[in-house]
Amino acid sequence: MGSEVNTAARAAPRKLTGKKQEIDAFIDQFDYFLFDCDGVLWQGNVLLPKVVETLEMLRNKGKKLVFVTNNSSKSREAYSKKFAQFGIPVLVDEVFGSSYSTAIAISRVYKIPPGKRVFVIGEEGIEHELAAEGISYFGGSAPLPFPEEDVAEHVGPDPSVWAVVTGLDRKISYAKFAIAGGYLQDPNVHFFATNIDSTFPTHGKLLPGAGTCAAPLTLMTGRTPIAFGKPSQAMMDSIEQKYSLDKSKACMVGDRLNTDIQFGLKAGLKGTLAVLTGVSKEEDILKAGEIGEGPDVYLDCLGDLLG
Ligand SMILES: O=C(O)[C@H](O)[C@H](O)COP(=O)(O)O
C-alpha cells in the first residue's frame, strides 16, 4: 500500500450518535482495533471514563486489540505495567511503541553490523528496547562522562557509531546535541527518530514533543531523521507482520489527526475513529474532512462505544 492518503471522494467525518444499533454496525466491520493510548484511554495519569468496560466489550466480541503509542519514554513492558495500574489487563505483546518499532527496524531491517553502536538522545524506553534487540548503545539516560563545559573536546567522528537515534528526552542538553551533531556530520551515520511529534500533551498542556529533540540536529546538519513511529509506514509494516493484521478489517482509534488518523489513512486501514478527549478538537476534525484527511467517524470519548 502506498504511503499517501487517498483523499479522493472520502466522505466527511461523521459523529456517531451513540445509538446501539449504529455502534454495533460500526464495530462489526472490524476484527482488529489499533489504539493510541494517551488522549484515548487516559490523559496522563487519569483514566478516561468507561475505558475498562469498552476494552472488555471489544475483547468479549473477539476483537484483537493492539496498543500503538509514539511515547518512546517507556518500553512495552513499562507500558503494560501502566495498563495494569489502571486495572486493564494487557499483554506486553499487545503493546507496540515507537521505541520498539525503532529497535526492530535497526536490528531486523537495517541490520546494524556487529561491533557498531548507536548514540541515543532519549530515555529508558529506547534503551530497554535497543538492549532487548541486542543493539549496543550509549548516551541516553547516562550522565555525560565529562563536564558539560568541556564538550568541544569530545565532539567528533567515531568509527564505532553507526546511528544516532532521537526520542523524547526530558533531560536534553546542548552537550548531547553537540555530540550527536558531531557523529551526524559523517554521512554514513544513520539519523533515526522514534517519532517526530511536535508536542507532548501533558496534564492538559502541550509540552515540547519528541520532534523537538531531533529538530536542532536537522538545523545543524541539514539532515532529517527517518522516523519509526506513527504515521510511518515502517511502523505499520511491522505491526502488519507481527499481528498478521488484515488491514481490510482494521480500525485505528486516536485523538490526533497528524499521527493517529494519518497512520490509519496512509496505511489504507478499513476504518479510522477519532475521539475528542485529546489533542484534536471537533473543528480540526471537520476541517481535515474538507480535504479528505479526517477520520471516518468520531466520538466525544471512547466510552461512547458502549452505546
Ligand atoms: O512527543 C511525543 O513523543 C508524543 O507526543 C507522545 O509520546 C505521544 O504518544 P501517543 O499519543 O502516540 O501515545
pLDDT in tens, the chain (307 residues): 445 777 667 899 999 998 999 999 999 999 999 999 999 999 888 999 999 999 999 999 999 999 999 999 999 999 999 999 999 999 999 999 999 999 999 999 999 999 999 999 999 999 999 999 999 999 999 999 999 999 999 999 999 999 999 999 999 999 999 999 999 999 999 999 999 999 998 877 889 999 999 999 999 999 999 999 999 999 999 999 999 999 999 999 999 999 999 999 999 999 999 999 999 999 999 999 999 999 999 999 999 999 8
Closest residue to atom 13 of ligand 1, CA basis: 69
What is the tens place of the pLDDT at every residue in 144-153?
A: 999 999 999 9
What are the binding residues for Mg(2+)? Answer: 36, 38, 255
Q: 170 and 66 in one domain?
A: no
Tell me, yes or no, whether 208 lies in a domain. Answer: yes
Within this chain, do residues 215 and 253 fall inside the same structural domain, yes or no? no
Are 59 and 173 in the same domain?
no
Check whether residue 116 and residue 179 sit in a common domain: yes
- Ligand 1: residue of 68, 70, 101, 261 to mutate (most ligand atoms within 8 A of CB) is 70
Same structural domain, 132 and 29? no
Rounded to whole angstroms, the Cα distance separating 125 from 70 reads: 11
Please indicate, yes or no, if residue 180 is contained in any of the structural domains: yes
In a domain, 92, yes or no: no
Q: Indicate which residues carry an active-site annotation.
A: 36, 38
Ligand 1 pocket residue status of 200, Cβ below 6 Å? yes
Same domain, yes or no: 262 and 158: no
CA angle (169, 172, 174) in 5-degree steps: 155
Is 295 touching ligand 1 by the criterion CB < 6 Å?
A: no
**CATH code, domain carrying 175:** 3.40.50.1000
- Atom 5 (ligand 1): residue with closest C-alpha? 200
Shared domain for 207 and 107, answered yes or no, is yes
| 122, 187: one domain | yes
Q: In the listed set 212, 227, 242, which residue is the last one of a domain according to the structure?
A: 227
CB 99 within 8 A of CB 123: no
Annotated binding site: 36, 38, 230, 255
- Asked if 18 and 117 sit in the same domain, the reply is no
pLDDT tens sequence across 173-185: 999 999 999 999 9
**Is 195 close to ligand 1, i.e. is its CB under 6 Å away?**
yes
201: which residues sit within 8 A by CB, 6+ positions away? 38, 39, 43, 207, 278, 279
Domain-located, residue 202: yes
* 253 and 268 inside one domain: yes
Is 78 contained in some domain? no
Question: Of 119, 125, 154, 121, which Cα lies nearest the Cα of 138?
Answer: 119
pLDDT tens per residue, range 33-63: 999 999 999 988 899 999 999 999 999 999 9
Share of the chain above pLDDT 90, in %: 93
Indicate whether 4 belongs to any domain.
Answer: no
Domain residues for the domain of 291 are 14-70+231-306
124 closest CA partner among 91, 76, 157, 161: 76
Identify whether 273 is part of a domain: yes
Task: Give the end of a domain, one of 207, 227, 247.
Answer: 227
The reply to whether 118 and 191 lie within a common domain is yes
> What type of residue is 82?
K
User: Which residue among 199, 227, 255 closes a domain?
Assistant: 227
Q: Is residue 83 part of a domain?
A: no
Q: Could you tell me if 103 and 209 lie in one domain?
A: yes
Q: For the chain, what is the domain count? A: 2
